[in-house]
């Protein structure tokens, strides 16, 4: 019996890259939804509402990246908008997790900060994180708009959201890499909506 030679590091990395490029290429079909999200988000934030964003692990970093772009700026000068990353509230996360359990780490923050008309965006590669599902349920109860960026549907988080940007990919890493691009696309479309308002 002939032994099968192990794949080289280059082959493994090339396969990873191919999966990421395929996932990112699939976002072209999602552009109308990205534009719709950006325009609604602009109307809500310009009207005094707030964006709440949450994710776990790498998705927490993406959540914080998104809110920093809205409070700061993405690609041009504009006024700041109210956006809060629930994943970055370390004292709240640890206190809530300790006192109520990890599944309530985001839901309790939504209860504290969310107001009717605000937007909650959750980011997850699997769509199965209990703390995000609980947060989405709490946001719906409080009459927030609930969005999710997830991996392949169906999943529990997608079922709880009003709208879902699904990334079909060969791995969780590829989903997350495509979601990074989605975050930038959303920021760019949001900035375009801001400019359209100024020029109107």
Would residue 167 count as lying in a domain?
A: yes
With a cut of 60, say whether residue 4 has pLDDT above it: no
In the chain, how many domains are there?
A: 1
Mean pLDDT, the chain, as a whole number?
95
In a domain, 19, yes or no: no
Indicate whether 17 belongs to any domain. Answer: no
Q: According to the model, what pLDDT value does residue 75 have?
A: 87
159 is a domain residue: yes
The structure's pTM equals 0.94
- Per cent of the chain over pLDDT 70 is 96
Q: Specify if 24 maps to a domain.
A: no
Give the model's pLDDT for residue 197. Answer: 74
Q: Which residue has the higher pLDDT, 200 or 95?
A: 95
Would you state the pLDDT for residue 155?
Answer: 97
Which domain does 133 fall in, by range? 30-195
Report the CATH number that the domain containing residue 165 is assigned in CATH: 3.40.50.10490
87-92's contacts with Cβ under 8 Å and 24+ in sequence apart are 87/53, 87/54, 87/55, 87/56, 87/59, 87/60, 87/63, 88/60, 88/63, 88/64
Residue 34 is predicted with a pLDDT of 98
In a domain, 2, yes or no: no
Is residue 36 a part of any domain in this protein?
yes
Determine, yes or no, domain membership for 39.
Answer: yes
């Amino acid at each position: 019996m002939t032994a099968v030679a192990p794949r080289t590091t280059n082959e493994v990395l090339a396969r990873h890259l191919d999966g990421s490029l395929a996932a990112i290429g699939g976002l072209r079909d999602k552009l109308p939804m990205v534009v719709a999200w950006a325009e609604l988000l602009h109307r809500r934030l310009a009207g005094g509402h707030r964006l709440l964003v949450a994710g776990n692990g790498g998705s927490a970093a993406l959540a914080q990246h998104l809110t920093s772009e809205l409070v700061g700026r993405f690609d041009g000068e504009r006024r700041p908008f109210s956006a809060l990353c629930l994943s970055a509230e370390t004292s709240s996360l640890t206190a809530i997790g300790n006192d109520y359990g990890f599944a309530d780490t985001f839901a309790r923050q939504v209860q504290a900060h969310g107001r009717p008309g605000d937007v909650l965006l959750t980011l997850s590669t699997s769509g199965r994180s209990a703390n995000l599902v609980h947060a989405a349920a709490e946001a719906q109860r409080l009459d927030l708009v609930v969005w999710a960026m997830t991996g392949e549907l169906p999943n529990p988080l997608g079922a709880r959201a009003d709208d879902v940007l699904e990334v079909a990919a060969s791995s969780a890493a590829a989903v997350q890499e495509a979601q990074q691009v989605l975050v930038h696309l959303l920021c760019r479309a949001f900035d375009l909506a801001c400019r359209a308002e100024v020029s109107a």
